[in-house]
Amino acid sequence: MTFDEKVQNTQNGSPGAPRLGLPAYQWWSEALHGVAGSPGVTFQPSGNFSYATSFPQPILMSAAFDDALIKQVGTVVGIEGRAFNNYGNAGLDFWTPNINPFRDPRWGRGQETPGEDPFHIARYVYNLVDGLQNGIGPANPRVVATCKHFAGYDIENWEGNQRYGFNAIISTQDLSEYYLPPFKSCARDAQVDAIMCSYNAVNGIPTCADSYLLDTILRDHWNWNQTGHWVTSDCDAVDNIYSDHHYTSSLAAAAADALNAGTNLDCGTTMSNNLGAAAAQDLFQNATLDSALIYLYSSLVRLGWFDPEVSQYRSLGWSDVGTPASQQLANQAAVEGIVLLKNDHKQVLPLSRHGQTIALIGPYANATTQLQGNYYGTPEYIRTMVWGAQQMGYNVQYQEGTGINSTDTSGFTAAVAAAKAADIIIYAGGIDNSIEAEAMDRNSITWPGNQLQLIDELSKVGKPLVVLQFGGGQVDDSALLTNNNVNALLWCGYPSQAGGQAVFEILTGQSAPAGRLPVTQYPANYTKEIPMTDMALRPNGITPGRTYRWYNDAVIPFGFGLHYTTFDVSWVNSKMGPYNTAALVAHGGKSKYQDTAVFDTFQVKVKNTGKVTSDYVALVFASTNNAGPKPYPIKTLIGYARAFSVKPGETQTVGIDVTLGSMARTAANGDLVLYPGSYTLELDVGQHYPHAELTINGPEKVLDSFPQPPLS
């Protein structure tokens, strides 16, 4: 390739090199929760490849706490993406998943993530990438996944602080403990083929120009340096190095800095337009440009892009898209993730299905694409709430009542009239992409518009009232929890194509709810207590702390979820150990990385003491008051497992593998350390199940020495 040919192929819409027979290639395809609209993806107007399976948004799928489900979803998306590619309707590189922790409830893109807990996200991404790429670091991946946005990215535009120029000030401890573990799982453990650097800077350096992040940590420390692994910028993030961060004196310098730091592909044209000028100024070496292209094109070689028609994966086609099994999996993912937040003493749920009339009211009651959230594709169908009610045999009286953000009350009269004429009132509302979206953060975490006013009026009708809360984030439900006439409340996230079917399966008891909140529901005044730009996790006397690890005044806590039945959950052994750090680390040496070695497998007995068959998610948290650096987290999730279809009277025993890394704590310098001391293990959230105690003896043991940032 000539120098100019090489430079031109550093952009996402790579033109190739026609004189060499190298075709053009679009690196940018999307598949956040199914093959999605993007520059690289084409949905045909009808017939073959006119649709793909649309799974729920990640925030809802993660609420299932079902790792096997996530791998299955990744497998379907990878197969459908490859089938699309085989017939010229998509690329092979999908810029998913978004694994930035959902740190602040105002973040507009929180719906795209698996939630607020880095341990949970790490397991989610490991299983999703395993499914998408067809294995852990496969020699010939089915498609390439791209973990984004590396790193410290979770602000869109809050009070004038735009993502394009935001400088995230993050301590080494918080970076290692909270912001990076999902990326470590993705890069080091799952060996994903691509990583996307983010718009923001971290401690003064734009991430796409930060060799400490892209080289020292990512490629060297995490052993992510194989041929075929590559880094792309977020779109126009290379331009932002100069134009928004003002980190360089020119676009040419920005392009060179990104290339030198380890950004191999520019989503945009800053590199392709300016590397020529940068070369004239000797701002980079030609060998660095060659390396970038070798990373990129060797990935396409591994994908089989250059191979003949008979090569691996070439048999995938239209018959592999939207299969009955994948459509059922989309429904299962929604059902497993839906969370029951309230079901009062009247036990309105599950609903009877004997010829009743339902007043189905609210802006989500007949919503279609709104159920998909963002980064969505075209599904074969979307099951609305009205459709779901009708399929269950209800006589449906539908009224919108109000819009999501509306202050117009003119629809209240018709809505209340429909409620009075019905046996049951179901209000379907919440938040949507107009106030939680890319490039936009929320200023408030209250219910938007006049929805609470309408719900209050409906609650006075005197009929059973169920509220369905949609949206990726959480809004303060205090008014609904304390209103005795609101009988039940479910969080439904963005359930996508199977939404109405899944929701009414739960409402009628055809399936039992077992999802758990993957985020904290904060009180409305939380947004006044801490600025969104404060990246610190720990409370400091002025700010209240973030996530369930550091904040203890939640309206509804992380991990909460009710059931239609009752459970008695207990430890097989309530006292474990004692353990010894030296012995644990010696045993862990058999693993490739000490932090992934098994600490122990805790056995938990789950007995269904009620009358409804139900799944149950066993969450295990650890807390301590004498081990590790102070201040101590309130508690930390260290393991979970989902018990399936536990019948009334049945007891299932589930094993929960806990790793050395999840029992360890992060020192101020970022090292992951296994500390001696006493620990309390807690089961579940909001339940009074027995605790277990364990003791770890011996000296402190560093499991992972964190690379120290360069001196400024």
Residue 216 tokens, joined:
């020292």
pLDDT at position 431? 94
Q: Is 90 exceeded by the pLDDT of residue 354?
A: no
Of 202, 212, 201, 277, which is closest to residue 241 (Cα–Cα)?
A: 201
- Distance in angstroms (rounded) separating the CA atoms of residues 245 and 178: 24
Contacts of residue 544, defined as CB under 8 A and 6 or more positions apart, other chains included, come to: 526, 529, 530, 551, 553
Of 129, 125, 176, which is closest to residue 152 (Cα–Cα)?
A: 176
Burial class (CB in 10 A: 0-12, 13-18, 19+), 28: buried
* Mean local confidence (pLDDT), 605-632: 96
Q: Is 90 exceeded by the pLDDT of residue 453?
A: yes
Structural contact between residues 284 and 259, judged by C-beta atoms closer than 8 angstroms = yes
Put residue 658 in one of left, alpha, beta given phi > 0 → left and psi -120 to 50 → alpha.
Answer: beta
pLDDT at position 649? 98
Q: Which of 214-218, 354-358, 524-528, 568-572 has the lowest mean pLDDT?
A: 354-358
- Distance in angstroms (rounded) separating the CA atoms of residues 256 and 271: 8
Q: Does domain 567-704 have CATH number 2.60.40.10?
A: yes
Strand, coil or helix: what is 658?
A: strand
Structural contact between residues 187 and 196, judged by C-beta atoms closer than 8 angstroms = no
Buried b (16+ CB within 10 A) or exposed e, 530-552: bebeebbbbeeeebbbbbbbbbe
- Distance in angstroms (rounded) separating the CA atoms of residues 698 and 583: 9
Q: Which of 78-87, 182-191, 570-579 has the lowest mean pLDDT?
A: 570-579
pLDDT at position 437? 83
Q: Is 70 exceeded by the pLDDT of residue 210?
A: yes
Residue 158 tokens, joined:
């809050």
State the catalytic residue, choosing from 104, 189, 234, 266. Answer: 234
Residue 380 tokens, joined:
């074969």
Q: pLDDT-based confidence at 712, cuts 50/70/90?
A: low
* Mean local confidence (pLDDT), 119-132: 98
pLDDT at position 184? 98
Answer whether the bond into residue 350 is a cis peptide, omega within 30°: yes
Answer whether the bond into residue 141 is a cis peptide, omega within 30°: no
- Distance in angstroms (rounded) separating the CA atoms of residues 202 and 183: 15
Q: What is the pLDDT of residues 137-153, one digit of tens each?
A: 999 999 999 999 999 99
Name the DSSP class of 521. Answer: B
Q: How far is CA 207 from CA 31, 169, 674, in A?
A: 23, 12, 30
Contacts of residue 637, defined as CB under 8 A and 6 or more positions apart, other chains included, come to: 117, 119, 120, 559, 619, 620, 621, 662
Name the DSSP class of 123. Answer: H
pLDDT at position 574? 79
Buried b (16+ CB within 10 A) or exposed e, 144-166: bbbbbbbbbbbbbebeebbbbbb
Q: What is the pLDDT of residues 651-679, one digit of tens each?
A: 999 999 999 999 999 999 999 999 999 99
Percent of the chain, pLDDT > 70? 100
Q: Is 80 exceeded by the pLDDT of residue 126?
A: yes
Q: How far is CA 17 from CA 20, 290, 610, in A?
A: 5, 15, 67
Percent of the chain, pLDDT > 90? 94
Q: Is 80 exceeded by the pLDDT of residue 587?
A: yes
* Mean local confidence (pLDDT), 339-367: 93
Mean pLDDT across the chain = 96
Q: Is 70 exceeded by the pLDDT of residue 467?
A: yes
Contacts of residue 512, defined as CB under 8 A and 6 or more positions apart, other chains included, come to: 350, 506, 563, 564, 565, 612, 613, 614, 615
Name the DSSP class of 465. Answer: E
**635 phi, psi to nearest 5 deg:** -170, 165
Identical fold for domains 3-11+26-320 and 338-529, yes or no, is no
pLDDT at position 345? 84
Strands (DSSP E) found in 505-635 = 567-571, 575-580, 598-608, 614-623
Question: CATH second-level architecture of 338-529?
Answer: 3-Layer(aba) Sandwich (3.40)
User: How do 424-430 and 465-470 pair as beta strands?
Assistant: parallel
pLDDT at position 539? 96
Structural contact between residues 26 and 13, judged by C-beta atoms closer than 8 angstroms = yes
Measured between alpha carbons, how far apart are the two ends of the chain, in Å?
39
Of 449, 338, 324, which is closest to residue 388 (Cα–Cα)?
A: 338
pLDDT at position 325? 98
Contacts of residue 622, defined as CB under 8 A and 6 or more positions apart, other chains included, come to: 635, 636, 638, 662, 663, 679, 680, 681, 682
Q: Is 90 exceeded by the pLDDT of residue 66?
A: yes
Q: Where are the domains of the chain?
A: 3-11+26-320, 338-529, 567-704
Contacts of residue 33, defined as CB under 8 A and 6 or more positions apart, other chains included, come to: 54, 55, 56, 57, 58, 61, 73, 77, 372, 373, 375, 376, 496
**685 phi, psi to nearest 5 deg:** -130, 130
pLDDT at position 687? 86
CATH topology of domain 3-11+26-320: TIM Barrel (3.20.20)
Asked about 320 being catalytic, the answer comes back as: no
* Mean local confidence (pLDDT), 552-574: 96
Beta bridge partners of 523: none
- Distance in angstroms (rounded) separating the CA atoms of residues 306 and 296: 13
Name the DSSP class of 29. Answer: B
Structural contact between residues 186 and 147, judged by C-beta atoms closer than 8 angstroms = yes
* Mean local confidence (pLDDT), 37-65: 98
* Mean local confidence (pLDDT), 478-492: 98
